[in-house]
């Protein structure tokens, strides 16, 4: 009887681990090396940046970037900061065509909402400062 209980426990553990792997690594199971592109909520395209892109705004955004973002995105926003090594998916290269092709509202939405492993910044960075950050990201082309 004890052998059967142990065997069932072992099989249950193996099944849970297998299901956990399938949930945590769906792209790997599909033979994909890169995760699906991160798409902002469609409503984000309608968000208009209320902060004019000026030297002052870009400077504020750069300060926020150095304080909050550089650890993962790196000093030039290339997604190669020291904290990026352990992350999956890897941080975006903010100067890439894929990022720069997005409207300001999409970038703002992604900063605000985050996704694993990126945290949600809307509770930490005030709204106006997130718009300054968007203006700075535009300079990383």
Q: What is the pLDDT of residues 80-94, one digit of tens each?
A: 999 999 999 999 999
d(CA 95, CA 59): 17
Residue 33's pLDDT is 58
H/E stretch holding 111: helix 104-113
Boundaries of every domain in the chain: 1-33, 35-140
Query: Residue 3, exposed/middle/buried by CB under 10 A (0-12, 13-18, 19+)?
Result: exposed
Task: Kindly report the CATH number that applies to the domain delimited by 35-140.
Answer: 1.10.760.10
* pLDDT band at residue 12 using 50, 70 and 90 as cut-offs: very low
Nearest of 64, 58, 44 to residue 105 by alpha carbon: 44
Does 40 or 25 have the greater pLDDT score? 40
The label of the residue with tokens 């209320």 reads 50
Residue 18 has pLDDT above 80, yes or no: no
Rg (CA), the chain: 20
Q: What is the pLDDT of residues 105-119, one digit of tens each?
A: 999 999 999 999 999
């Amino acid at each position: 009887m004890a052998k059967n209980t142990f065997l069932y426990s072992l099989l249950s553990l193996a099944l849970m681990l297998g299901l956990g792997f399938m949930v945590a690594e769906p792209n790997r199971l599909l033979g994909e090396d890169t995760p699906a592109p991160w798409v902002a909520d469609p409503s984000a395209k309608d968000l208009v940046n209320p902060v004019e892109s000026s030297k002052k705004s870009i400077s504020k955004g750069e300060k926020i970037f150095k304080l909050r973002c550089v650890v993962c995105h790196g000093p030039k926003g290339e997604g190669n900061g020291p904290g990026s090594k352990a992350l999956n998916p890897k941080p975006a290269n903010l100067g890439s065509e894929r990022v720069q092709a997005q409207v300001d509202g999409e970038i703002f939405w992604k900063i605000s909402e985050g996704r694993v492993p990126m945290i949600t910044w809307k509770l930490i960075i005030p709204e106006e400062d997130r718009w300054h950050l968007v203006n700075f990201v535009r300079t990383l082309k």
